[in-house]
Amino acid sequence: MDFYRLTASELSKLLREGACTSQEVTQSVFERIDAVEDKVGAYITLNREGALAAAKAVDERRAKGEALHPLAGIPLGIKDNIVTKDLLTTCASRMLYNFVPPYEATVVKKLDACGMIPIGKLNMDEFAMGSSTETSYFKKTRNPRDLSCVPGGSSGGSAAAVCAGEAVLALGSDTGGSIRQPAAYCGVIGLKPTYGSVSRYGLVAFASSLDQIGPIGRSVTDVSMLYQALCGHDPMDATSAARSYEDFTANLSPDLSGRVIGIPKEYFGAGVDEDVKKIVLDAAAKLKEAGAALKEISLPSTDYALGAYYIISSAEASSNLARFDGVKYGYRTAQYENLTDMYERTRSEGFGDEVKRRIMLGTFVLSSGYYDAYYKRAKLMQQRIAAEFAQAFEGCDVILTPTAPSRAFRLGEKLDDPLKMYAGDLCTVTVNIAGLPAISLPCPVGAGNLPVGMQLIGPKFSEQTLLNTAFGYEQLMGGSLVEVPQL
Cite the active site residues. Answer: 79, 154, 178
Query: What is the distance between the alpha carbons of residues 215 and 464, in angstroms, rounded to a whole number?
Result: 15
Q: Is 400 helix (H, G, I), strand (E, B) or coil?
A: strand
C-alpha separations of 240 from 178, 321, 435, 461 in Å: 20, 22, 12, 13
What angle, rounded to 10 degrees, do the helices at 220-230 and 106-114 form?
A: 110
Which DSSP string corresponds to 30-54?
HHHHHHHHHHH--EEEE-HHHHHHH
Query: What is the distance between the alpha carbons of residues 465 and 187, in angstroms, rounded to a whole number?
Result: 22
CB 168, CB 76: distance < 8 Å = yes
CB 181, CB 153: distance < 8 Å = yes
CB 111, CB 71: distance < 8 Å = yes
367: preceding bond cis by omega (within 30 degrees): no
Q: Is 199 helix (H, G, I), strand (E, B) or coil?
A: coil
Query: What is the distance between the alpha carbons of residues 77 and 42, in angstroms, rounded to a whole number?
Result: 10
- Paired sense of beta strands 189-192 and 438-443, if any: antiparallel
C-alpha separations of 55 from 14, 27, 340 in Å: 15, 9, 48
